[in-house]
C-alpha cells in the first residue's frame, strides 16, 4: 500500500547516536534508552528493538501499557516504568519482570501485600517538585521497603529541573549535591543500587552525573535538548555529532488556481493578493501538525520551500506553489526533514509555535505509519 502520509525513521541514525553516547560514558556505565511516549514519536517497539540490538542495557518508559507492549514484542532487557502505576496493576507489572519507580507508602504497602518478588527504583525529589521523596525521608522510606524481604531496591534516581534550558547550571549542581546526600543515606542502609540521574543534556555536559547508568532520551533521536545545551557543549568542548532520525512526508492531494482577492481556509484569515497556484496538503492538526503553523509554516516540494497560507485544518492545509513551474498531485512533500538541498528542522517548527523540539516530534499522531529504513 502507498501511504498518503508517513514517517521515515533512519535506523542507522539512531544507532549512530547511541554509539556517540557510548563513547562518552564508556562500557562500565549502563545505558538506558528512553522510549516513552511512542519513543518520542519515532515508534515504541521498533526503536526499542533497535536500541536493544545496539547495546542498550535498559529501556525506560512512562506507563505499564508501554512496558507490557515491549514484553509482548519479545523484548527481554530490563524495563523501568518511570511513571505512576495504579495499585491494582502492580501485580501484572511484577509478573512481567518490570521494574517500578516508587515514591509513596501506598505503593509499597500494595506491593508487600502481593508477596511477590518486585524490583523497585526509589525516585528522589531534588528540585522538580514532581514525583519523588525528599532526601531526608529516604532512610525511613528504605526501612519501610526492607520490611518486605521480597521487594528488591534495585535503583535510586532523580531528574534535573534546569540543566537543559540554561547555560547556568548552578541549580543542577545543587540537585546533584542533594542526590549525593541521598546516596550516602543508601550506603548507611547497606543497600546495593543502580544510581542514575543523567538525561541527554547531563550525559553530554557533566560526566559526574553518569553514576551507574544514564537515561538517553531526546538526543538518541538526533536532537539537542535545547540551544543552550548545544552552546554549553561547545564551550566545554564536548565533541558529539547527533543525526536526526525522522523525516515526515506526505503527498499533494490537489493543485488549483485561486484568483486575486479570494480568501483561503477557515476564518478568512488570509486573502490572496494576486492570482496564485496552491497545493492542498492532506495533513492537519489531527496528525499532530500544529495549528499555530497557520500562515507561518513551510513545507518542501521539489526541494523548494512553500509557505502555508490560511489556517491549518483538522486534516489538511494549503500552501503557495506559485513559484514552482511543475507541481502535480501525489508529488512528495516533506514536512520535517531534508529534500534535495533544503531542510526543515524540528527546531525551526518548535520556534515558530513557541515550544520545544520534544513536543513537535512526540505529538505526531501514533497512527501515522512509521517506515524504518
Instruction: Identify whether 306 is part of a domain.
Output: yes
Which of 235, 259, 283 is at the close of a domain? Answer: 235
CATH of the domain at 88: 3.20.20.10
Q: What is the pLDDT of residue 168?
A: 87
Q: Which of 204, 235, 266 is the last residue of a domain?
A: 235
Residue 30 contacts residue 212 (beta carbons within 8 Å): yes
Closest to 23 measured CA to CA, from 207, 266, 276, 273? 207
In a domain, 47, yes or no: yes
Q: Kindly state whether residues 159 and 64 are assigned to the same domain.
A: yes
Range of the domain at 116: 11-235
- Are β-strands 151-157 and 370-372 bridged in parallel, bridged antiparallel, or unpaired? unpaired
Judge if 293 and 221 occupy the same domain: no
Regarding whether 168 and 43 lie in a shared domain, the answer is: yes
224 plus 260 within the same structural domain:
no
What local confidence, expressed as pLDDT, does residue 192 receive? 83
Q: Do 252 and 211 lie in a common domain?
A: no
* 240 assigned to some structural domain: no
Spans of the chain, pLDDT less than 50: none
Check whether residue 188 and residue 333 sit in a common domain.
no
Q: Which burial class, exposed, middle or buried, applies to 341 when counting CB atoms under 10 A from its CB (0-12, 13-18, 19+)? A: exposed
The C-alpha cell at 361 is 516530534
Distance CA 49, CA 73 (A): 9
6 belongs to a structural domain: no
pTM: 0.96
For residue 341, the domain's CATH number is 2.40.37.10
Asked, for residue 319, whether it belongs to a domain, the answer is yes
Residue 274 is assigned to a structural domain of this protein: yes
Domain count of the chain?
A: 2
pLDDT the model gives residue 190: 82
Both 231 and 257 in a single domain? no
Distance between CA atoms of residues 356 and 363, nearest Å = 11
Q: 196 and 273 in one domain? A: no
Residue 22 and residue 147 in one domain: yes
280 burial level (CB within 10 Å; 0-12, 13-18, 19+):
middle
The pLDDT, as a whole number, for residue 151 is 95
Report the alpha-carbon angle 228-231-234, nearest 5. Answer: 150
Residues 276 and 191 in one domain: no
Among the candidates 184, 215, 235, a domain finishes at 235
Residues 269, 209, single domain; the answer is no
Structure-block grid coordinates of residue 353? 509555535
| Cα–Cα distance measured from residue 50 to residue 221, given in angstroms and rounded to the nearest whole number | 12
Please report the pLDDT score of residue 50 as a whole number.
98
Indicate whether 241 belongs to any domain. no
Are both 39 and 168 inside the same structural domain?
yes
**155 found inside a domain:** yes
Instruction: Supply the residues annotated as catalytic.
Output: 36, 266
pLDDT at 187: 87
Amino acid at each position: 500500500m502507498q501511504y498518503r502520509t508517513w514517517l521515515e525513521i533512519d535506523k542507522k541514525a539512531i544507532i549512530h547516536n547511541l554509539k556517540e553516547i557510548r563513547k562518552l560514558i564508556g562500557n562500565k556505565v549502563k545505558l538506558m534508552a528512553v522510549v516513552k511516549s511512542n519513543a518520542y514519536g519515532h515508534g515504541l517497539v521498533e526503536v526499542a528493538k533497535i536500541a536493544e540490538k545496539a547495546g542498550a542495557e535498559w529501556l525506560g518508559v512512562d506507563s505499564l501499557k508501554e512496558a507490557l507492549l515491549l514484553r509482548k514484542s519479545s523484548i527481554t532487557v530490563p524495563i523501568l516504568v518511570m511513571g505512576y502505576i495504579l495499585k491494582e496493576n502492580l501485580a501484572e507489572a511484577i509478573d512481567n519482570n518490570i521494574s517500578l519507580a516508587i515514591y509513596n507508602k501506598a505503593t509499597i504497602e500494595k506491593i508487600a501485600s502481593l508477596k511477590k518478588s518486585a524490583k523497585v527504583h526509589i525516585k528522589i525529589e531534588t528540585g522538580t517538585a514532581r514525583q519523588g521523596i525528599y532526601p531526608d525521608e529516604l532512610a525511613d522510606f528504605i526501612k519501610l521497603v526492607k520490611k518486605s524481604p521480597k521487594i528488591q531496591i534495585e535503583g535510586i534516581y532523580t531528574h534535573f529541573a534546569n540543566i537543559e534550558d540554561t547555560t547556568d547550571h548552578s541549580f543542577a549542581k545543587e540537585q546533584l549535591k542533594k542526590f549525593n546526600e541521598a546516596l550516602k543515606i543508601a550506603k548507611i542502609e547497606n543497600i546495593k543500587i543502580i544510581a542514575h540521574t543523567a538525561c541527554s543534556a547531563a550525559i553530554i555536559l557533566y560526566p559526574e552525573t553518569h553514576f551507574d547508568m544514564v537515561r538517553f532520551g531526546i538526543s538518541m533521536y538526533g536532537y539537542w535538548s535545547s540551544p543552550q545545551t548545544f552552546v554549553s557543549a561547545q564551550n566545554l568542548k564536548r565533541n558529539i555529532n547527533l543525526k536526526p532520525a525522522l523525516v515526515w512526508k506526505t503527498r499533494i492531494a490537489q493543485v488549483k488556481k485561486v484568483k486575486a482577492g479570494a480568501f483561503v481556509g477557515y476564518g478568512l484569515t488570509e486573502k490572496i493578493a494576486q492570482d496564485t497556484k496552491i497545493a492542498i496538503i492532506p495533513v492537519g492538526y489531527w496528525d499532530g501538525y500544529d495549528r499555530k503553523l497557520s500562515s507561518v509554516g513551510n513545507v518542501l516540494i521539489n526541494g523548494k520551500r512553500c509557505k502555508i497560507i490560511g489556517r491549518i485544518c483538522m486534516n489538511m492545509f494549503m500552501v503557495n506553489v506559485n513559484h514552482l513551474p511543475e507541481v502535480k498531485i501525489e508529488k512528495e512533500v516533506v514536512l520535517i526533514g531534508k529534500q534535495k538541498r533544503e531542510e526543515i528542522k524540528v527546531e525551526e517548527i518548535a520556534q515558530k509555535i513557541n515550544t520545544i523540539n520534544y513536543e513537535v516530534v512526540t505529538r505526531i499522531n501514533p497512527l501515522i505509519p512509521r517506515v524504518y529504513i
